[in-house]
Structure 1
Amino acid sequence: MSVARLPIVVGFGGFNAAGRASGHHAYRRMVIESLPELPRQETLAGLAVMMGLISYVEGAYRDSADQALDLADIEARYGEQILDGTLIRRIDKSFFDVDAAHWQKSATLGAGDSPLVFELRKRDLPEPVPTDWLVNDIDGDRVRVTASGGLEVKFDSYRDIPVKSAGQLPRGFNPGSLYNSHYHPRALQLAVIGASDAIQSIGIKWSAIMAAVQPDQVGVYASNVMSQMDENGFGGLLQSRLKGGRVSAKQCPLGLNTMPADFVNAYILGSVGQTGAITGACASFLYNLQAAAEDIASGKCRVAVVGCAEAPIVLEIIDGYATMGALASEEKLKKLDGTDEIDPRRTSRPFGENAGFTMAEASQYVVLMDDALAIELGADIHGAVGDVFINADGFKKSISAPGPGNYITMAKAVASAKAILGEESIKQRSLIQAHGSSTPQNRVTESQIFDQVAQVFGIENWPVSAVKAYVGHSLSAASGEQLIASLGVFKYGIIPGVKTIDKVADDVFADRLQIATKDVVASQQLDVAFLNSKGFGGNNATASIFAPHVVERMLARRFGEKGMARYRDKREQVRAAAEAYDVAAQQGNFATIYHFGEGLIDESQIRLDQDSVQLPGFAHPIDLIFANRYADMCE
């Protein structure tokens, strides 16, 4: 029996309402009031640069008057503004005006006894001219129209929309400014900068990684749920005729929900390896993670980039989810709180008295390597993927209602981790990253699943965190935010509390759960985090993520102390390179990777024989020698 290879997290990055994911900065924003002074101030400084409040010039942070600032100055002068411009907040007018959102109101003009008479330019006449119109020339350019049956028109109108909060990128940060993003939909801008952030966080040049593997041993697994629905994607494509405009050549291809993978292959990595764009509603990140982890464990893939990028703060999308009753509207929250004023930052309330989820935009990517390659290259270990389980709900009455599939995924994940790490790790040193969507139904059904699993496995006071309280629900990327927050918990030992609620709701099954309303410092090192995700349509997924100290202990058994000693020596240089990138990014130098029209493969130089394919520019050939997997079935 072949030994499975362990999928190790060697890099992570992205951007969301809390800021930049790499270097644990987005996580640190979530627990900023619980951090020591230096990491708190460093995170604030990085956010201040992202938001355009300050710059880094000639070796110092500087304000608009070119005065040098130290970290304490930045916190004192800009701290409140930085905190106010991050996490969930009132939707910025750069998206649309929530108090006067554009609408079109239908009306009929001239529907009385008298015909409607109006003038217009001849070139603006509809094709064909309606049969009840009498058209007379005024001059060579204009005509007079007499419409006996009236005229159907649409007036520009502006209405208040009930949903006014979302998880948005830090105020003032423009993702498209980091590279040549002309005509790219926002979700693809997020995909490019998020995947680039993850790749550079590794601390190993991508060329060095590619020199160590065959070209087809790299995989990219990424997608999104809502595709690209803004003006540069499907949104513009579908609206163009209704607005009297023309479809562009880019809107259709760039709108596809495979693009968060395709752009990484084509413009960041130049990969010719495995690719996939799997969607499972709000569990999509875990669907992609499962595919990557299985391919690494089986040896099919040695390096995998996994991620999702979603930009759903689009009026039509919010309108759709709001009409379903899925989003927290101001009126619902006012009624719930018994007040005329609500705090837009507290609209997402997992496991509390809540009224629906809060939409968010985000890009989250992680880089996985098999254990042998990580040891060979000295890659840093941030965690490892134990297992990812996916199960459907069976027959459903409502496509959006929860069902039994999540019982299966959660129980399997805990049982699998118990088999690998032992009972004590599960009972004493584990954490749940809940789906925590902030709907009344979710708080009951998800907590009941946790409670029953805890009872079966003898778990008491099980810590539960729910990052949607901070950053909202980014749909496909949501589980990526759970994963990256878990890596932060492993490093800092601070479990983010659900700080948007005053208390846990009475109908939550909380007897065996620890759902804190403030940050909690873990009493001991955590060994494993369980990421739980539930999606419309019965898309349930649960993953187990192992902590770095657990992974190193496992690797020591496989590679021995001498092998680990050599690995640690190499790792020092890798960590230094990763730290150098982190410092540069803190100062606003993201050096986003984007290769447009560069490094194209000359197909005339491809060499092919029965044993291999050799591509120009790649160190190793692609192996064509296969064993017969079905030898027992063949003569």
Structure 2
Amino acid sequence: MSQLPVIVGFGGINPAGRSSFHHGYRRMVIDALDSARADRTYRSLASVMGLDMSRGELTPEQREYILEHTLIRRIEDGLFDIEKVPFNKRMSIAGSGGELSFVTRARQLPDVIPEQWSVTDLGDGKVKVTMADACDVLMPSHRRIDVSTAGQLPSGFDPSKLYASRNHPRGLQMAIYGASDALGSMGIDWQTVMDAVHPDQIGVYASSAMAQLDDNGMGGLLMSRADGRRVSSKNLALGLADMPGDFVSAYVLGNVGTTAPSLGACATFFYNMRLAVNDIKAGNTRVAVVGVAEAGLDPRIIDGYTTMGALATDDGLLKLDAAKGLSEPDYRRSSRPFSSNCGFTISESAQFIVLFDDSLALELGAQIHSSVPDVFVNADGFKKSISGPGIGNYLTIAKTLAAAESILGSDSIRQRSFVQAHGTSTPQNRVTESHILNETAKVFGIEKWPVGAIKAYLGHSIGAASGDQLIASLGVWNENILAGIATIDHIAEDVHDSNLQLQAEHMHLEPGAMDLAVLNSKGFGGNNASAAVLSPTVSEKMLRGRHGNAAWTAYLDKREAAVEKAQAYDDKACSGDISAIYHFDHNVMNGDDVEMSREAIRLRGWKAGVELTKASPYAGWMKD
């Protein structure tokens, strides 16, 4: 019998704050929360932002600061100065009389002296260079960037300060924190998990879509020599797209099981989750840590997307609001899914979840936040352009609803489901995705399908974006609020919405009103992925039905300890004590720590071994 993958822990960081315990989602709907939950979320944000909480209660000024320095906003100087983005200006220079001379240090001469140069030694390590012809040079300069709004992590949060980061790229720093937060949310010690399974039954499915492109990663590798600097020995290694998973395996978990980083542009988180879900369903993995860390707020990356015409530029936003006569863009409303819009808003995020198979979840008394029975991926087929949309997303959405219907029945699909749209805020997406969702809703008899589009709050974090959607969906069930598309004041005329419910206002739900979340991602290049995520209530009902009342009662007794320990973690984090798990040069094993036999491999520190004697599914196929 197939195992059901259940989410037993989740965490991370994005422009809304810390993901665990739904704090990030609560920031998005904070205007609709009761005072107790709002206060808790303010404290969580104050903690990650490093604000002074010694007085006990936060001041009104601090609360206002928190609101202004989270979610989408004008890019702050902590990352780079949008008014003075450095670049090299190409110039051609020549002397007024045909010759040009200058003095420099001999050690600064190029290794290969150009033929048109004449070099004279002046002593004291200096030389005079005379050029007979014009020469092209690169002059350091700066400019104002065309895009000045983004989804930036909360002001004051610096993941490099949480552990010995040793010049790690920002994406890897975020991955360490995101995975640590997810583990803390479980309320179960990682050693307890290790003791309950075989070493090869744990898997890490994590990556980034764009790799690490800042100066500590691929950016430094590709630019250092051109800028007259040396390449670091770490640039290439730490810049690889699989490094978020590698770091989590090596420095957070000590994982010796599966590593399976996958890439799928904006659908990268779902690509990783699909591998994990399939491995758990097949019985190959019992514990899966799934995640993506993407640090896209770099002027070079922004320049690339701007040149593609993909981002909402300052000029584009001003044209949208021309009737208002604004002198500067409405930074908060740069992302307007399914409304009149002009491009997406880039963001940064690291999101991680921990999946158990359902039997292990009951055995360890893990909290069950939801379950993921299926993730579907389809390509677009032949394409007119690599960036253009195709038909693959019609397949993934329809297959997701059909799979969920086979579990829940048609009434749940029609009346008790919602969708988290990709919702990028581009003119093309609002037409194509709305048509896909609307037509699928018609086929499955959904009259008004509630649609969420959280990029209105967070922006587009590329590979981590679908992780943002998943974490937000968990928040919907916990808070009983589906966040409205708060940045819009109308639905664009070309949006297909006869069977969709698109609104700016938050949708308040009765507890247990939603059985299913359909999560959708349309990735660049034809990387389409959609996931069916079942509510905590439905997930628990399924497990109670599978394992029986006695096993369920025993599980509830064990779960109390996990809930209590997880709450203690949240209390600590909300009090200003945020930290990251980082085990460098810790418990390193070598050949002396491995004991091998024909039946199993045993490793120091693990209760169970890696079994080598397993029945083959191909037994009996060999014929004479």
What SS class does the counterpart of residue 222 from structure 1 fall into?
strand
Q: Is the 8 A contact 1:111 1:151 kept in 2?
A: no
* The one of 414, 417, 424 aligned to 1:430: 417
Residue 91 of structure 2 is matched in structure 1 by 107
Distance between the aligned counterparts of 2:122 and 2:358, measured in 1? 80
Residue 42 of structure 1 is matched in structure 2 by 40
* The one of 117, 132, 140 aligned to 2:101: 117
Q: Is the 8 A contact 1:120 1:144 kept in 2?
A: yes
Distance between the aligned counterparts of 2:95 and 2:613, measured in 1? 77
Alpha-carbon deviation of 1:503? 1.4
What SS class does the counterpart of residue 548 from structure 2 fall into?
helix
Distance between the aligned counterparts of 1:539 and 1:214, measured in 2? 34
Alpha-carbon deviation of 1:609? 1.1
Residue 256 of structure 1 is matched in structure 2 by 240
* The one of 483, 490, 496 aligned to 1:496: 483
Distance between the aligned counterparts of 2:579 and 2:569, measured in 1? 9
Instruction: Please tell me whether residue 157 in structure 1 is matched to residue 157 in structure 2.
Output: no
Instruction: Please tell me whether residue 615 in structure 1 is matched to residue 603 in structure 2.
Output: yes
Paired amino acid for 1:164 = S
* The one of 435, 458, 483 aligned to 2:445: 458
* The one of 381, 387, 390 aligned to 2:377: 390
Residue 195 of structure 2 is matched in structure 1 by 211
Distance between the aligned counterparts of 1:531 and 1:487, measured in 2? 11
Residue 292 of structure 2 is matched in structure 1 by 308
Distance between the aligned counterparts of 1:87 and 1:40, measured in 2? 16
TM-score by length of 1: 0.96
Residue 387 of structure 2 is matched in structure 1 by 400
Alpha-carbon deviation of 1:308? 0.1
Q: Is the 8 A contact 1:221 1:307 kept in 2?
A: yes
Distance between the aligned counterparts of 2:616 and 2:47, measured in 1? 56
Instruction: Please tell me whether residue 97 in structure 1 is matched to residue 81 in structure 2.
Output: yes
* The one of 578, 585, 593 aligned to 2:566: 578
Alpha-carbon deviation of 1:577? 0.4
Instruction: Please tell me whether residue 564 in structure 1 is matched to residue 552 in structure 2.
Output: yes
Residue 524 of structure 2 is matched in structure 1 by 536
What SS class does the counterpart of residue 282 from structure 1 fall into?
helix
Residue 113 of structure 2 is matched in structure 1 by 129
What SS class does the counterpart of residue 215 from structure 2 fall into?
coil
Cα gap change, 1:137/1:581 in structure 2, threshold over 3 Å: closer, same or farther? same
Distance between the aligned counterparts of 2:292 and 2:598, measured in 1? 37
1:289-304 counterparts in 2 under 5 A? 289-304=273-288
Alpha-carbon deviation of 1:248? 1.2
Instruction: Please tell me whether residue 588 in structure 1 is matched to residue 576 in structure 2.
Output: yes
Distance between the aligned counterparts of 1:552 and 1:135, measured in 2? 80
Residue 354 of structure 1 is matched in structure 2 by 341
Distance between the aligned counterparts of 2:105 and 2:377, measured in 1? 60
Q: Is the 8 A contact 1:312 1:359 kept in 2?
A: yes
Q: Is the 8 A contact 1:166 1:472 kept in 2?
A: yes
Q: Is the 8 A contact 1:218 1:273 kept in 2?
A: yes
Alpha-carbon deviation of 1:101? 1.4
Residue 177 of structure 1 is matched in structure 2 by 161
Alpha-carbon deviation of 1:317? 0.6
Paired amino acid for 2:480 = G
Q: Deviations over 1:33-72 (max 9, x none)?
A: 0000011011111211221221xxxxxx31xxxxx232xx
Range with greater deviation from structure 2 (252-261 or 111-120): 111-120
* The one of 569, 578, 587 aligned to 1:599: 587
1:224-303 counterparts in 2 under 5 A? 224-303=208-287
Q: Is the 8 A contact 1:45 1:75 kept in 2?
A: no
Range with greater deviation from structure 2 (303-312 or 594-603): 594-603
What SS class does the counterpart of residue 630 from structure 1 fall into?
coil
Alpha-carbon deviation of 1:151? 2.4
Paired amino acid for 2:245 = A
Q: Deviations over 1:189-225 (max 9, x none)?
A: 0000000100111000000011000000000000111
Alpha-carbon deviation of 1:112? 4.8
What SS class does the counterpart of residue 503 from structure 1 fall into?
coil
Distance between the aligned counterparts of 2:406 and 2:59, measured in 1? 47
* The one of 498, 504, 507 aligned to 1:517: 504
Distance between the aligned counterparts of 1:591 and 1:319, measured in 2? 33
What SS class does the counterpart of residue 69 from structure 1 fall into?
coil
Paired amino acid for 1:589 = D
Distance between the aligned counterparts of 1:624 and 1:200, measured in 2? 33
Q: Is the 8 A contact 2:452 2:482 kept in 1?
A: yes
* The one of 305, 319, 323 aligned to 1:321: 305
Paired amino acid for 1:445 = T
Q: Is the 8 A contact 2:47 2:573 kept in 1?
A: no
Unaligned 5+ runs, structure 1: 55-60, 63-67
Q: Is the 8 A contact 2:98 2:133 kept in 1?
A: no
Residue 494 of structure 2 is matched in structure 1 by 507
Q: Is the 8 A contact 2:422 2:453 kept in 1?
A: yes
What SS class does the counterpart of residue 123 from structure 2 fall into?
coil
Distance between the aligned counterparts of 1:253 and 1:501, measured in 2? 43
Q: Deviations over 1:409-461 (max 9, x none)?
A: 00000000000111111111101000001100100110111111110110011
What SS class does the counterpart of residue 249 from structure 1 fall into?
coil
Residue 397 of structure 2 is matched in structure 1 by 410
TM-score by length of 2: 0.98
What SS class does the counterpart of residue 529 from structure 1 fall into?
strand
Q: Deviations over 1:563-586 (max 9, x none)?
A: 100000000111000000011111
Alpha-carbon deviation of 1:363? 0.2
Alpha-carbon deviation of 1:587? 1.4
What SS class does the counterpart of residue 540 from structure 1 fall into?
strand
Q: Deviations over 1:306-355 (max 9, x none)?
A: 00000011111110000000000011111122134321111011111110
Distance between the aligned counterparts of 1:352 and 1:632, measured in 2? 60
Distance between the aligned counterparts of 1:517 and 1:102, measured in 2? 39
What SS class does the counterpart of residue 613 from structure 2 fall into?
coil
Distance between the aligned counterparts of 2:108 and 2:220, measured in 1? 22
What SS class does the counterpart of residue 529 from structure 2 fall into?
strand
Q: Is the 8 A contact 1:44 1:75 kept in 2?
A: no
Alpha-carbon deviation of 1:171? 0.6
Residue 184 of structure 2 is matched in structure 1 by 200
- Number of aligned pairs? 619
* The one of 428, 435, 456 aligned to 1:469: 456
Cα gap change, 1:483/1:75 in structure 2, threshold over 3 Å: closer, same or farther? farther
Alpha-carbon deviation of 1:75? 5.1
Q: Is the 8 A contact 2:47 2:578 kept in 1?
A: no
Q: Is the 8 A contact 2:317 2:330 kept in 1?
A: no
Paired amino acid for 1:29 = R
What SS class does the counterpart of residue 384 from structure 2 fall into?
coil
Distance between the aligned counterparts of 2:514 and 2:59, measured in 1? 31
Residue 550 of structure 1 is matched in structure 2 by 538
Alpha-carbon deviation of 1:94? 2.1
Alpha-carbon deviation of 1:606? 1.1
Identity of aligned residues (%): 51
Distance between the aligned counterparts of 1:464 and 1:430, measured in 2? 10
Q: Is the 8 A contact 1:533 1:541 kept in 2?
A: yes
Instruction: Please tell me whether residue 53 in structure 1 is matched to residue 51 in structure 2.
Output: yes
Distance between the aligned counterparts of 1:344 and 1:304, measured in 2? 38
Distance between the aligned counterparts of 1:75 and 1:429, measured in 2? 40
